[in-house]
Amino acid sequence: MIGAENLVRALLAGGVEVCFANPGTSEMHFLAALDRVSGMRCVLGLFEGVVTGAADGYARMLDRPACTLLHLGPGLANGLSNLHNAMRAHSPVVNIIGDHATYHRRHDAPLTSDIEGAARPFSHWVRTSENAASAALDGMAAVAAALSAPGRIASLILPADTAWTEVPEERLPPAPLATPRARPADAAIDAAARLLLSSEPTAIVLAGSATRAEALEFAGQIAVKTGAKLLAQTHTARLSRGAGRVPVDRIPYPVDQALAALAGFKNLILVGAKAPVAFFAYPDKPSELSPPGAHIHTLARAEHDIPYALAALAHAVKADKVPVPVGGFEPADRPTGAITPEKLATLIAATLPDHAIVVDESITTGRAFLPLTGAARPHEWLLGTGGSIGYAMPVSIGAAIACPDRKVVTLESDGSGLYMPQALWTQARQNLNILTLIFANRKYQILRNEMQNVGVSNVGPVASALLDIDKPAIDWVGLARSFGVEAFRAETMDELGRRIDAGLAMTGPCLIEVVL
Amino acid sequence: MIGAENLVRALLAGGVEVCFANPGTSEMHFLAALDRVSGMRCVLGLFEGVVTGAADGYARMLDRPACTLLHLGPGLANGLSNLHNAMRAHSPVVNIIGDHATYHRRHDAPLTSDIEGAARPFSHWVRTSENAASAALDGMAAVAAALSAPGRIASLILPADTAWTEVPEERLPPAPLATPRARPADAAIDAAARLLLSSEPTAIVLAGSATRAEALEFAGQIAVKTGAKLLAQTHTARLSRGAGRVPVDRIPYPVDQALAALAGFKNLILVGAKAPVAFFAYPDKPSELSPPGAHIHTLARAEHDIPYALAALAHAVKADKVPVPVGGFEPADRPTGAITPEKLATLIAATLPDHAIVVDESITTGRAFLPLTGAARPHEWLLGTGGSIGYAMPVSIGAAIACPDRKVVTLESDGSGLYMPQALWTQARQNLNILTLIFANRKYQILRNEMQNVGVSNVGPVASALLDIDKPAIDWVGLARSFGVEAFRAETMDELGRRIDAGLAMTGPCLIEVVL
């Protein structure tokens, strides 16, 4: 048995059942091991960002890691930006990064680089597996690191000779399980209860597992009982929404709107969230968004047992028997005529299938989507967490593989979708049930807004040419079809409605270019 | 005047005239400065790897840096793999990486990461410009660092408030020039001369500026006079070739072929090259490729004045008056019928225009290209240097912008081209004279070979599915057209010949999918 086989056995024993891969020569023995030890589903990406983004999406839906397979330093580098998002989403991910054989490194062959150094800024845990005898234990340690609360990025570097050297079949230790999550101290719960019962205006800011259905139930009881306002952190990994779910508003992205949403609260109770801060600094706007003088209290951090914390708080404020009124599915009439962001939101709300997974990177086009889709059928809404652009199409792949019985709807702006369009090929190859809407305004609209926000009122021709992506306009239908994904263009709401119906009815991926 | 304006002034004064950009919010003031200070040509890439690869190509042709404009840690991360190649090519590059305002960092907003940490493994020089008053000097220092021999990667991190703060117009220091290159010691030249005159079989291994036309003239004289064999290092950034140029064989990539090419030499003289090593380690093959017991002598390192070193050596062996026989343009008949790698090489040799720039990432399809194209018209042949895949289409952009009067011919394998296909859009937007041939074998053929090389003779179905990129086959014609690049498919040599003629005759980019 070679080291790579022991490693694959360890990953499988640790519950890692999917490998998103873009391999090279140094990973060939790991590939061979994937055939010798059965049980790992392997999914090829044409680019490493597709691979790491898919692992993020998988983890967001299942709370356990997939592994990635990446080729030395540059292969890892291509996957780092989506690992940044995964870190911020608290997604457990195990990266397997091939390296030169240990004895070959000193020759500084062209593909040599400081892999540990490259991994560290985007990983919580980094280790090089220095010999085949330790491969299994290193793999187990990586899985355990990934599963440690609230979900972490573990990067295991696998030199080629660690992978290929013959060793005895390792007796695997017991599989690591997700670390039982610590409960916040009673004092934190009592203090939160006192704030809620103080009759001062209080907001509960939710993120991480606090924006999942189970936790939201308790949060809803607390809100009903105490009058507290529920707010989702602007960037939370996954928000349970729609009919039957406790509604929660998201703190808006634009600073002025965020300040308005938070104005007047005397207390902010943080549950898996951080004190609200501006995404970017602007010359004349604050970095901290909490109202001046507001008391900020942490009920639970991301790594805590958040459902427990909210249940205990509900009990402490005597809300645990309170019924929470939730809405049903209320589709508005399908909008017709010219396409507008608000009509798009209404159509999305009307058409989302039961338990759909929405992956949202709609940026400026989608500002109205969350406010106007609360009455859709029950669904999960995945958001960008780290601000690294191009995450949605890769994350959709992982979500679709994690949940083959659900429909994934990707809401993608054209600028963002162009970072990793190769993701469409993996969607086609795996025949994934992903409907992608591309909002084609043919510019980086957010940057045109930001120019104003940072005080640049007259955008000159040089800057302007860096903010538009027309000339030539990108043909998304042709692009998707070139990767084997069925695609259509819609220029009216009527046309779009028909295309969405057809796209949702089919098996496999479909893309609609929504021309704005 | 804001800090960003002083920085742009400094870059321009330092001879940086092109900015390859993929900006975000934190770079908005730098963009505004690009309009206020005239002279910088700005080129938008839809993905950061396109941007850094273009800077590499530009530097390879002009030996001076372009700057890149990248958006925080993830934006940099997306550009790192092509910076790895640029490092290995000794290309001077100045990266400008936007960051949060200095006072905003401590809030750990979602897009915060350790940018210096991410830059360091792929940069020779890293600095954060901590205030607007130092922006100009920091910019100058970055240019000086990039220009230091043999050409380096300088990464300057620009916090948003450094960019936007008002400061006086900085009096710029004298522009940095490329550091005069050190000459190797006389003893190194004398020792090389003694080896060459020893009558022992000797090879001269050339890389970096040693494979450019000027240096090759002297190398050719030495070879004629002493009988030494000229060999180009497998991965050299740029090789001057074709009619009128001193011919030089490249050390082959496959280990067994490399060993054969080097067998029998008692002496290796290194000129800008390193002692030959295997690209990867293989279980039963050596890492070091030099013949056992061979004497390895360094005449000049990459950072030395290599033309001087070779001229001095030519003088030392009394070769400096020796005429060097060079070949003329000798086109073979155009091959017809089914497409084979050898016929492709013959057709390329027959059609390359005068002073074309070839960017070669043809991997397995192209193994015969260098051996069979020596009698083409004079041209420059750019090679992958760091082994990071997907470099060719981005590098072509930079080469085309550096040399608008030359035709760029990109020889791209389909697997490699799929890492950064968005590069095609920039080729269209800038109307660059780039003809791209995609060699579509619809598999990672090199990895199928490598499976054999590492001793895996039976590739199982799991691994096999990670090595093929058919199912679905990618429609390169549709893909290129979706980005605004005219494209055609060729399935016979006759068809390909006609398409190449047409592609070379047109202005702007063109792509031909060569179906293998």
Handedness of CA B190, B195, B199, B204 (dihedral sign): negative
pLDDT above 80 (res B2): yes
Structure confidence by residue, pLDDT tens digits, B330-348: 888 999 999 999 999 999 9
pLDDT above 90 (res A170): no
Count CA atoms closer than 13 A to B426's CA, side-chain side: 31
Q: Which of A125, A63, A121 is nearest to A96 (CA)?
A: A125
Please give the full DSSP string across B2-49, using - where no structure is assigned.
BHHHHHHHHHHHTT--EEEE---GGGHHHHHHHHHS---EEEE-SSHH
Does B118 contact A at CB distance below 8 Å? yes
Cβ proximity of B223 and B271 under 8 Å: no
pLDDT at position B452 is: 85
Average pLDDT of chain A to the nearest whole number: 96
Q: State the ipTM, two decimals.
A: 0.97
Structure confidence by residue, pLDDT tens digits, A403-454: 999 999 999 999 999 999 999 999 999 999 999 999 999 999 999 998 888 7
- Mean local confidence (pLDDT), B252-281: 97
Rounded CA separation B418/B397 (Å): 16
pLDDT at position B261 is: 98
Does B387 contact A at CB distance below 8 Å? yes
Q: How far is A426 from chain B (nearest CA, A)?
A: 9
Strand segments (E) across B444-484: none
Structure confidence by residue, pLDDT tens digits, A452-467: 887 887 889 999 999 9
User: Within its chain, how far is the Cα of B309 from the centroid?
Assistant: 24
Q: Which of residues 422-441 of B touch A (CB under 8 A)?
A: 422, 425, 428-429
Nearest to B104 among A73, A287, A421 (CB): A287
Tokens 């001229």 belong to residue: B311
Instruction: Suggest the residue from A161, A466, A470, A513 to mutate for an interface test with chain B (most B CBs closer than 10 A).
Output: A466
Average pLDDT of chain B to the nearest whole number: 96
* Contacts (Cβ under 8 Å, ≥6 apart) of A150: A90, A181, A208, A209, A272, A301, A302, A303
Residues in chain B: 516
Count of C-beta atoms within a 10 Å radius of residue A115: 26
pLDDT above 90 (res B170): no
Cβ proximity of A482 and A407 under 8 Å: no
What band does A304 get if pLDDT is binned at 50, 70 and 90?
very high
- Mean local confidence (pLDDT), A469-477: 96
pLDDT above 80 (res B176): no
Percent share of chain A, pLDDT over 70: 100
Cβ proximity of B94 and B123 under 8 Å: no
Q: How far is B183 from chain A (nearest CA, A)?
A: 24
At A109 the three-state DSSP class reads coil
- Scanning every residue of chain A, which has its alpha carbon at the shortest distance from the alpha carbon of B36? A460
Domains by residue range for chain A, with CATH: 3-164 (3.40.50.970), 189-316 (3.40.50.1220), 341-515 (3.40.50.970)
Does B184 contact A at CB distance below 8 Å? no
Q: Is the whole-model pTM more than 0.95? A: yes
B chain contacts of residue A390, beta-carbon cutoff 8 Å: 47
pLDDT at position B124 is: 98
* Contacts (Cβ under 8 Å, ≥6 apart) of B311: B218, B320
pLDDT at position A120 is: 98
Q: Give the tokens for residue A36.
A: 């010798």
pLDDT at position A455 is: 80
Q: Which of residues 61-80 of A touch B (CB under 8 A)?
A: 72-75, 77-78, 80
pLDDT above 90 (res B155): yes
At B143 the three-state DSSP class reads helix
Nearest to B110 among A235, A389, A455 (CB): A235
What band does A175 get if pLDDT is binned at 50, 70 and 90?
confident
Q: Give the tokens for residue B343.
A: 């016929």
pLDDT at position B179 is: 73
Does B288 contact A at CB distance below 8 Å? yes
Instruction: Tell me the CA distances in angstroms from A404 to A59, A355, A391, B198, one per residue in order.
Output: 14, 12, 20, 72
* Contacts (Cβ under 8 Å, ≥6 apart) of B123: B83, B87, B95, B153, B154, B155
Q: Give the tokens for residue B476.
A: 């390169």
Q: Which amino acid is at B427?
A: Q
Task: Calculate helix-pair angle for A48-62, A392-402, nearest 10 degrees.
Answer: 50
User: Within its chain, how far is the Cα of A209 from the centroid?
Assistant: 13
